[in-house]
A = this chain, B = another copy of it.
C-alpha cells in the first residue's frame, strides 16, 4: 500500500524549526470558497464597520452524542489544519464572489484590500487530538483570531469535522459490537453521499476501527488496506466450460476436470455417508454455471480464492461448489481463503456452511488417505465473510443468535450513517476582545459556556476517565491527588469532588499562525491516520463499559469548575431579559 505523498512528513514545509505549514486538503474542493455565502456577507459587514480585526474566539462543539450513544470519536482535525494552513481566496474565487448578487452593493475595496489577502497567519487553534473519545459541550477545537477570519472559517471546519466524527463514531460502535476478533470491511462507496462521502467514509471508518475498504481511491490516498473478491455478475457471466481459457493451475493440467471430479467425489462421499446430518442432506443439485465461475476465479487467484456462494442457493449449490474448488486448489498445492454470503439468514447460513464443511471432512476421511489429507482443516481454515445490509443492530442480533462469520462487509448503513446521518456540530462565538459572550436559548442544552476555557480529563485509579472539566482561562489547572470541584454546567444540585489519579489536558495548540503554523511536535506526535486509529482503540478500551453499552448507556460527566459555573450563570442572568408576568 502506498500512502499518499501529501501525507508524508517530508512534504510539509518548514517555517521555522518548531512550526510547519501543511499540504492542501485531501479533497481539493475543501478551500476557502467551500463556505456559506453569509460568511462572506458577514465578513463584509465587519470590514465595513471596521470590526473585522477585533479578536474573536469560537468554540466548535456538539450537544448530543450520535446514535443514541454516550460517546463520540473526534475526527477531521488533520483536514481542518490542512484547510487552515492553505486558507486563501484565489483570484478566481474573488472574481466569482464579486459577480454574485450579494456583492452588488459591496465596496470593491473589500475584495482588493481584504478578501484577496486574508489568511490564517493571525489565527490560533487549540484542538483535541484526532481519534479522542469526546463528549457534548467540550470544545473540539477553539479558534481565536481576527473576527473576520474566524468567522470565514466556520462552515468549512464544520463540514470537515461533522461527517468525519460521525463516521468514525459509527465505525467504532460497529467494532465495539463485534469485538476485536472479527474483520470489519467497509464496502459503502456505491451508496455513499457523493464521491467524497465515499472517500471520507473509507478513511474515517478505518480510523474508527475497520480493517480494510473496497474503495481503491481511498486505498491509494490513505494507504488503507483494500479488499475485494467478485460479484454476482461474475457468476452470471459464466455458463459454459468453454468460458475458461487455460486450465493449467500449478501442477494441475486441467483444473476444471479435476474440480468436476472433486465435486463428484464429494457428492458420493456425502450421499453415501450414513450421517443424517442436515448439511449432508442439503447437498443434491448444484449449479454448473456457478462451478464454472468458481473455477474461472480460482484459476485467476489460486492463492487467494474467496467465492461469493449465494447466487443460486447457498447451501445446496454454493457451498459444495466452493468445497470442490477449494479441495482441488489444495490438491494443486494452494490454500483457498473462504466464502462470502450476501443474502439470507446470515446466522443460520454461516453455521450451516461450517457444519457442511465439518461433515465433508468426516465423509471424505472415509474415502481414503488422499481425500482425508485434502479435507483436513477445511472447516477451520475457511473464512466466512457476510455482507447483506449489516448494521450495528444486525451485528448485535448475530452475536445473540450465534454465527460462524469471520468477517463483515458493511456498506450503506456505515457510510450514510443511516441511524443518524448528521452530527450537529456548531461553531459558537464565546469571546470578543477578551470579553466573554454567551448565547442564550430557552433550551438549556443550547446555552453556550462563555469565554475561552481550559479543558481537562480527570482519570481514576485504574486509568478510567471519570469526568471532563472546563475551567476559566485564568484558573489553575487540576493536579493529580488534589481534590477538584466539578459542577454540572447548568443544574445547581449536581456537583462532585474528584481527586484525579491522572490529569490530561484536552485542548492543545495545533495551529499558531503567528509562529508559522502547526507546532512540529504536535504534528509529529498526534497527526496521522494510523496514530488516530490507534488512539481510538486505546481510548475506547479505557472507557467504563456502561458509557459504551448499546442500551441505556450512562452519560459520561462533563462539568465546569465552581468559578466557571458562577461566571456563566451571572452572565446568563445579566443577558436574560426579565419577563413581565401578566
Contacts and interface: CB of A to CB of B under 8 A. Distances in A.
Interface of A: 1-2, 25, 27-31, 33-42, 44-46, 48-51, 54, 56, 58, 92-93, 95-97, 99-102, 104-106, 147, 151, 154-155, 158-160, 162-163, 187, 189-201, 214-217, 219-220, 225-234, 236-239, 243-246, 284-285, 287, 296-297, 299-304, 311-313, 316-317, 343, 412, 415-418, 421-425, 427-429, 432, 435, 437, 439-441, 577-578, 580
Contact of A300 (B49, B92, B194, B416): B49
Given A245-B51, A312-B577, A101 B226 contact: yes
Contacts of A29: 27, 195-196, 199, 217
A163 B39 contact: no
Contacts of A190: 36, 154-155, 158-159, 162, 425
Contacts of A54: 237
Given A29-B196, A49-B246, A421-B416, A220 B159 contact: no
A435 to B, nearest CB: 8
Contacts of A33: 216-217, 220
Closest 5 CB pairs of A and B: A37-B228, A38-B228, A196-B196, A194-B196, A45-B300
Given A220-B33, A421-B193, A45 B234 contact: yes
A305 B417 CA distance: 38
Contacts of A154: 190, 231, 233
Contacts of A25: 195
A222 to B, nearest CB: 12
24 contacts: A2-B96, A28-B28, A30-B195, A34-B189, A36-B190, A40-B216, A49-B246, A49-B300, A51-B296, A100-B216, A100-B219, A102-B226, A105-B304, A147-B237, A163-B194, A191-B422, A193-B422, A194-B198, A194-B199, A194-B200, A194-B201, A233-B427, A236-B437, A416-B416
Given A105-B301, A284-B580, A219 B37 contact: yes
Contacts of A199: 29, 34, 194
A49 B317 contact: no
Contacts of A37: 214-216, 219, 226-228
B302 A105 contact: yes
Contacts of A236: 429, 432, 437, 439
Contacts of A159: 189-190, 192, 194-195, 198
B196 A195 contact: yes
B102 A228 contact: yes
A199 B34 CA distance: 8
B422 A418 contact: yes
Contacts of A201: 193-194
Nearest to A421: B416
Given A37-B227, A197-B194, A198-B34, A48 B246 contact: yes
Contacts of A412: 422, 424
A14 B218 CA distance: 33
Given A105-B304, A421-B421, 19 more contacts: A2-B95, A25-B195, A27-B195, A36-B190, A36-B216, A37-B227, A38-B229, A40-B216, A93-B220, A102-B226, A159-B190, A159-B192, A162-B191, A191-B423, A196-B196, A232-B429, A236-B432, A285-B580, A316-B577
Given A233-B151, A304-B102, A296 B49 contact: yes
A219 B93 CA distance: 11
A193 B416 contact: yes
Contacts of A245: 48-51
A115 to B, nearest CB: 12
Contacts of A51: 237-238, 243, 245, 296
A438 to B, nearest CB: 8
A432 B242 CA distance: 14
Contacts of A50: 245-246
Contacts of A198: 34, 159, 194
Contacts of A300: 41, 44-45, 48-49, 106
A432 B239 CA distance: 10
Given A220-B96, A418-B421, A231 B162 contact: no
B36 A196 contact: no
Nearest to A188: B422
Contacts of A194: 27, 159, 163, 192-194, 196-201
Contacts of A230: 38, 41-42, 45
A301 B41 contact: yes
A300 B154 CA distance: 21
Contacts of A197: 163, 192-194, 196-197
A500 B302 CA distance: 56
Contact of A417 (B219, B311, B421, B428): B421
